[in-house]
Amino acid sequence: MKSILPVIALGSVLALSACARNKESLPPPPPQAAPALPPVIDQPATVPPPERVVTDAARGSGPGSQADMVAQAGSDRVLFALDSYALDEAARQTLGAQASWLGQYPAIRVTVEGHTDERGTREYNLALGERRASAAKNFLAAQGVDSGRLSIISYGKERPEMDGSNEEAWAANRRAVTITIAGTIAGSR
Amino acid sequence: MMVRLVLLLLLAVPAAATLRVDITSGIEAPMPLAVPAFPTPAAMQTPAGNTADLGRQVAAIVSGNLVGSGLFRAIDPAAFPAPTVAQVIAPPFLGYRTAAAQALVTGSVTANADGSLTVGCHLHDVFSEEELARQAFTVTPAGWRRAAHKCSDLVYSRLTGETGMFDSRIVYVAESGARTKRVKRLAIMDQDGANHRFLTSGQSLVLMPRFSPVNETITYMSFAGDRPRVWLYNIGTGRQEPVGNFDTMSFAARFSPDGRTLLFSVTRAGNADIFTYDIGARRTMRLTSSNAIDTSPSFSPDGRRIVFESDRGGTQQLYVMNADGTGAQRISFGEGRAASPVWSPRGDLIAFTRIQSGKFRMAVMRPDGSGERLLTDSWQDEGPSWSPNGRVILFSRTERNGRSSLRSIDLTGRNDRRIPTPLEASDPAWGPLLP
């Protein structure tokens, strides 16, 4: 019975000649990529559900829609200083107005998205984005919005609002955005 | 007269000195290396191509790998005739000396009756005419490039005294599309860029992949289902599973050196703490609980300590703690901030991102924080990953208003080079040497 020697033992012992008979083999290498590709892993059968789709109700501009919130509250977003998650006066006013609007539509839930500009490392910015989202969410909750209606998500520096490596783009990207998602309003994913 | 002749002969053949590349210090001229085409005893067609053609390609891969390390320069193969099979083990050294080569790699490609291929690999010292190493590698036709990489590792390790890095793969994030709507896909390729394939479709935002050091598993973070969390993905079976069941975001996962544990961050009330995950037992455990962002954790090679990044002192800095979470001590004290540390598999250095004067730069320091050296000087270099032998740092470079690409640099700060990818790229992770 031929034994398969470990690679290291093969070392310098091998003698090759034009009519080699006694070649020693490594154990076959692990399955190679080319013949047997693993399935692309976010196929439906193996994969978590796709990302959120905005429903018709939230998309439109009627009462209770995202556009309606922007119109009534003045803005769907608040901005932050570099490396900061503190809410300035303008931010507090905007969030206060959002809270009032949410008070009129108790079925509406929101996700607060936190974002950063590009001038931080990737991991840290995910966490900083979440700090910003948390700050905004906590303020909304303090204004009386039931926390069961509030969720957060951070995209770090992955989803800039504005492309560019300049102060204007950076300032626009340091933000927390309030996104309405359907509660029991018609339509689901 | 006779004495003089003898002296000349002695001068012509340097005695005793072993052919060696010293890669730890000083400015080295790259060692001149000849890698002529590998002949074949019988030209045969295989699923990988004709063996004669494979012999040329194998030689080119070996040469490319070794020259790419910055330690060797290739003598043009046109400077000498292609070897015969007999010359593989008995090369005409005079011709190579004349061409000023110091090291010579010869080899052969043979198609076997069972369909496998055998690649022989021989390293010679051109001046002493000594054969320094030989090994044969038998592979499937689909894996023929691995034989070339293993030959490269044999030559590299014999000449440098270090383990190799060429028979390995890189996993990374391929990027495309507008920056405001970036599409990111996991991708994997051989370390030289060959055998590239995508692992995800781009439907979900994916980040920060890392390779298990011991098996065919990758960890990465995905925003699928609006639930940003860490996943384990077996690239052999294609199966994946989430890590833990947290209500909040988990990210920045890295494997322990024995591949049995994952280290990662989990957010909580606007902060982030480091957790471990026992992969076999599927059990998570909290390691830190500061009112700070603790992230980018990385084990020392002996598994007893962890370097990580924290802003518990006010700004992002590096800390080292015991593997049980106790005894955290700050180690970074230079100008600016320090982030994304990774402990070298050799244990001697920590690579990290130094943030100062508006730039991100690749840097290394010793685990006690001393000996910091900046390696690169571009706008945004981040996310370092070590080669399996702890000699080369792979990282992501973003140019101002421009593109993202993968680059590598030797830990001495030399040989800064781009790793070609089909699309833009970020978050590279260098996997282990394949068995």
Residue boundaries of the structural domains of chain B: 29-160, 169-430
- The CA distances from residue B368 to B82, B256, B314, B386, in Å, are 52, 20, 20, 19
- Asked if A33 lies within 8 A of B116 by C-beta distance, the reply is no
- Partners of residue B419 on adjacent β-strands: B406
- Give me the CATH code for the B169-430 domain, please: 2.120.10.30
Question: How many residue pairs from chains A and B have C-beta atoms closer than 8 A?
Answer: 194
For residue B93, report the phi and psi dihedrals to the nearest 5 degrees: -65, -30
Whether pLDDT at A55 is above 60: no
- Asked if B400 lies within 8 A of A11 by C-beta distance, the reply is no
Q: How far is A85 from chain B (nearest CA, A)?
A: 10
Whether pLDDT at B211 is above 70: yes
Chain B CB within 8 Å of residue A51 CB: yes
Range with the poorest average pLDDT among A8-22, B100-114, B115-129, B251-265? A8-22
Percent with pLDDT over 70 in chain B: 95
Asked if A155 and A102 count as a contact pair (C-beta separation under 8 A), the reply is no
Predicted confidence (pLDDT) per residue in B107-131, tens digit: 999 999 999 999 999 999 999 999 9
Asked if A15 and B192 count as a contact pair (C-beta separation under 8 A), the reply is no
Token pair for B144? 């023929």
Token pair for B119? 């690649």
Question: Could you give the CA distance from residue A180 to residue A102 in angstroms, rounded to a whole number?
Answer: 9
> What number is the ipTM of this complex?
0.92
Chain B CB within 8 Å of residue A16 CB: yes
Question: Could you give the CA distance from residue B330 to residue B349 in angstroms, rounded to a whole number?
Answer: 15
Q: How far is A11 from chain B (nearest CA, A)?
A: 6
Q: What is the pLDDT of residue B402?
A: 73
- Asked if A30 lies within 8 A of B205 by C-beta distance, the reply is no
pTM of the model: 0.87
Interface test with A, best of B130, B149, B168, B180 (most A CBs within 10 A): B180
Q: What is the pLDDT of residue A51?
A: 54
Predicted confidence (pLDDT) per residue in B28-74, tens digit: 689 999 999 999 999 999 999 999 999 999 999 999 999 999 999 99
Task: Give the pLDDT band (50/70/90) at residue B215.
Answer: confident
> What's domain B29-160's superfamily in CATH?
TolB, N-terminal domain (3.40.50.10070)
Average pLDDT for residues A97-117, to the nearest whole number? 96
Predicted confidence (pLDDT) per residue in B123-170, tens digit: 999 999 999 999 999 999 999 999 999 999 999 999 999 999 999 999
Whether pLDDT at A22 is above 60: no
- Asked if B133 lies within 8 A of A12 by C-beta distance, the reply is yes
Q: What is the pLDDT of residue A146?
A: 96
- The CA distances from residue A150 to A107, B265, B298, in Å, are 11, 23, 34
Asked if B393 and B375 count as a contact pair (C-beta separation under 8 A), the reply is yes
- Give me the CATH code for the A85-181 domain, please: 3.30.1330.60
Q: What is the pLDDT of residue B401?
A: 74
- Touching A: B residues 204-223, CB under 8 Å: 204-205, 207-208, 216, 222-223
- Most confident residue range from A7-11, A60-64, A82-86: A82-86
